[in-house]
Amino acid sequence: MSTVLNVLLPIFGLILVGFICRRTNRLGATAASEMNRFVVWLGLPALLFSLTAKADWAQIWQPGFLLAFTGGMLAVFLVTLVYRWKTTGSLVDASIDGLSAGYANTGYIGIPLCVLVLGEDGMAPALIASLMVVCVLFGLAVVCIEVGLQSKKGLGGAIVQVVMALLKNPLVVAPLLGAAWAFGGVQMPAALDEFLRLLGAATVPCALVSLGLFLAQRQSGPSEGAWPLVALKLVLQPLVTWFIAFVLLDLPPFWAHAALLLSALPTGTGPFMLAEYYQRQAALVSRAILFSTLGSLLTLTLILLLITP
């Protein structure tokens, strides 16, 4: 139990610090946005580039882990999408709900959590999961939304829009550039390595404080619809991932534990950004993020008790 507390308390402590600083107005209304910009455009890209540039890609390529994590993620997204589409008649709202149910916070919480629980090797599954969430799930949701809006560009135009958006996303571009550097076989200069290390070291604390600032923002609107999304995210997705990883594929313990841990993370901020962009139920999504983050204290504790000696 002490190991679990040592892992979770620093992470959620930083989130709590951000939450308190915003509620007491120690940090202003724009603090969450500005700190998030730092993380997205500087800190996390530097960390992702550095990691992929030095990575052993033979060890990172893990089809079983990809199938387990992505399978659980997509299963929850599609179940939610179909159900909400049938009940609401809106593919746009159903897509955002599906994203809220399946979008794990692999960047802000997953990376520090995996490193603390699994050691430095835990960065590899966290990186893979982050790419799957950002490139696959987020892209799929945007395509569904564009189709639901019956864009004049049609499905082909929506796909082009998604590809262009991903190519402009620093969280996608940075690891791709890092991979290209690694395959090029060029030794990284010491000054560049130290620059990236210093910038990347600020990522985790800034990301967690930024999440706390974001969660402290008051949102108006109904919250009843948030609880089913929280249950899907914190209960169904880990169960599906556990079944694939432990029962169907019988993965090695390290990769099975990583898949289960990452699938049990709370909802990330991606669905909220998408809801705001398309002017759809942002209040509901923000509540799902808040409730799932609080609820993950319990679910992550239970999982850590199961996978840690």
Q: Are 67 and 231 in contact (CB under 8 A)?
A: no
- What's the pLDDT score for residue 78? 96
122/118 Cα distance (integer angstroms):
5
- What's the pLDDT score for residue 77? 97
- What's the pLDDT score for residue 162? 67
In degrees rounded to 5, what are phi and psi of residue 222?
Answer: -70, 150
The amino acid sitting at 25 is: N
Q: Are 142 and 169 in contact (CB under 8 A)?
A: no
Whole-model pTM? 0.77
CB-CB neighbours of 176 under 10 Å: 16
- What's the pLDDT score for residue 246? 95
Residues with pLDDT less than 70, the chain:
1-5, 7, 56-60, 150-158, 162, 166, 219-224, 309
- What's the pLDDT score for residue 99? 93
- Exposed/middle/buried for residue 177 (C-beta within 10 Å: 0-12, 13-18, 19+): middle
- What's the pLDDT score for residue 153? 56
86-100 per-position pLDDT tens digit? 988 888 889 999 999
- What's the pLDDT score for residue 1? 57
First to last CA, the chain: 10
| Residue 110 CB partners (closer than 8 Å, separation 6+) | 104, 126, 129, 130, 261, 262, 265
- What's the pLDDT score for residue 172? 75
Domains and CATH numbers, the chain: 1-216+227-308 (1.20.1530.20)
